[in-house]
Amino acid sequence: MNRRWISVATTAVALAALTACGDAEEAATKAVDARDFVALGDSYAAGLGAGNYGDKQDCVQSKDGGYPHLWAALRTAATFGTITDATCAGAKINDVRYEQLTALNENTGWVTLTVGGNDAGWTKSLQACLLGTDETCKSSVDTAVTTVESALPAELDALYKVIRDRAPNAKVYVLGYPHLVAAPGAAGVSCEALSDARRKALNDGADSLDELIKGRVAAVQGFTFVDVRKAFEGHEACTKEPWIHGLRDNLSESYHPTPEGHKAYADALFAVTG
């Protein structure tokens, strides 16, 4: 080959290498500093039960008592960009998917989420256990568990995919649900209509939901499940020092975390994230 063309080709290769190197350096310089925090989910994420509710009356967000705000306050060494609380009491999986994700983008570095309880129909099950018999309680919980096992996997998978697509740089923490009531046979427990059999049914149902969520989360890269059941152990409704409200004058707060319960949520999350 002509030496001139060899020289030209060699120069071209060298320039291409330098250009590629420059592009890589420029890309590294422009790497996204993902620091925004977005909180998603239902009443357990919104802080229902903690009081000091803000302007979003329909969503019943606690201004400072929900676990997302408490967790952000614990992370004093972290520098957040923006903090967006999109949570809403009563939210179901598709409410989160279609109504709460507008704040997510490549700048989102942190996402927290609790959802699924409303989809399972736990409110109806709780009512059946409070007002019905042991048999109607168990039947209602069994129906909820069937819903959990049949409908929720596909809906959760779809939600998690959209979150990952919209917030590709985010660490996503999915927090589960505690047992609502004291364990069967727990000493010194007075739980009105909630007999041992009914408490067992409710807590078994919570386990089914948590284990389902845990399994779906494990399949998504960058998602972490935070199990809060242990954190609430001995502090469920009907115990001496409950972190779950029993029946309240404000019925919407019934069987939701107390301020101490929302702090337990935040502490459990902080134990994972630092």
DSSP lists the bridge partners of residue 237 as: 181
Side-chain-facing half-sphere of 79: CA atoms under 13 Å: 2
User: Radius of gyration (Cα) for the chain, nearest Å?
Assistant: 24
Side-chain-facing half-sphere of 168: CA atoms under 13 Å: 4
Spatial CB neighbours of 4, under 8 Å, sequence gap ≥ 6 = none
Burial of 171 (0-12, 13-18, 19+ CB in 10 A): middle
| Residues 62 and 50 sit within 8 Å (Cβ to Cβ) | yes
Spatial distance between the Cα atoms of 61 and 45, rounded to a whole number of angstroms: 8
Give me the torsion for CA of 257, 262, 267, 268, rounded to 10°: 50
| Residues 5 and 52 sit within 8 Å (Cβ to Cβ) | no
Side-chain-facing half-sphere of 212: CA atoms under 13 Å: 26
* Positions marked catalytic: 43, 256
Q: What is the DSSP letter of 252?
A: G
Spatial distance between the Cα atoms of 190 and 212, rounded to a whole number of angstroms: 30
Q: Could you tell me the two tokens for 118?
A: 């409303």
Helix H or strand E segment including 100: none
